Amino acid sequence: MYINKIKIQNFRNYENQEIQLDKNINIFYGDNAQGKTNILEAVFLCAFGKSFRTSKDKEMINKDKEFSNIDIDYEKKDRVGNIKFKISDKKYVYLNDVKLKKLSELIGNINLVIFTPDDINILKDGPAARRKFLDMMISQLRPRYLQNLNLYLKVLEQRNNYLKQKLNNDEMLDIWNQKLAEYGEIVYKYREEYINKIKDKIKDIHAEITNEDIKIEYNSDCKNKEKYLEKLKRNKEIDKIKGYTSSRNS
């Protein structure tokens, strides 16, 4: 897919800007603080419904204005599309002029991978940063993935809240263990499928750059539902003391 046109109004330092893009590579260059990353942020917002730089949406509205609009035309191999994004008192999103009820419906229309200098943390930081990067890509390709991941995260949050209360009811924990193992295995399978798809490509690209071999593997406690369940049970007493789930997939 590619983006044909970006129109931004009152977005960050832009008042009214229309940008026509080429099908292939587009390079934005300019002085520091001129607004290059702001353009990328506007596109990211239309792909994910949130910024990669701030959790405060209003920050993106030009400081002298009350609202901001982004309008993107894109083309996929089988269809053309348009996304309109408005930030004012809250966020409003239109896909082909139809208002979306949920922001999650936006994901997967514009397919986007962002890679900034900060993303070196994918290697430097712990596995959570790597999972987050994976999640961002899989959720654009597989809408059901995000649903299952959110269910997993919801159960995990409930289990952790329960552990914090130190109520010591094992039956309740068992219920969450079941659900966690169920969704955990689903999430694992999507991630494994994706890694399998990209690992040979990464190997080739890496060898071209460095002449070295690279091996990518996805390991997780959630690989097998029964085994994960056993581990959750085994860790029960530790979890109770810690007040959170020690074996998790997020």
Q: Contact positions toward ligand ATP, by CB under 6 A?
A: 12-13, 30, 32-38, 59, 61-63
Single out the residue of 88, 122, 95, 98 nearest to residue 110, CA to CA.
Answer: 95
Query: Rounded to the nearest 10 degrees, how much is the dihedral formed by the CA atoms of 127, 128, 134, 137?
Result: -160
Query: Between residues 116 and 161, which has the closer beta carbon with respect to Mg ion?
Result: 116
Q: Which residue is nearest to Mg ion (CB)?
A: 37
d(CA 139, CA 49): 13
Give residue for tokens 């059901």: 144
Rounded least distance, CB 47 to ligand ATP, Å: 17
Quote the crossing angle between the two packed helices 170-210 and 127-141, to the nearest 10°: 90
Binding mask 17-56 for Mg ion (x = CB under 5 A): --------------------x-------------------
Query: Between residues 64 and 217, which has the closer beta carbon with respect to ligand ATP?
Result: 64
Query: Between residues 37 and 82, which has the closer beta carbon with respect to Mg ion?
Result: 37
32 binds, among ligand ATP, Mg ion, none (CB under 5 to 8 A by kind): ligand ATP
Binding mask 95-134 for Mg ion (x = CB under 5 A): ----------------------------------------
Q: Which residues lie below 8 Å from residue 68, measured CB to CB, with a gap of 6+?
A: 8, 9, 10, 11, 60, 61, 62, 86, 87, 88
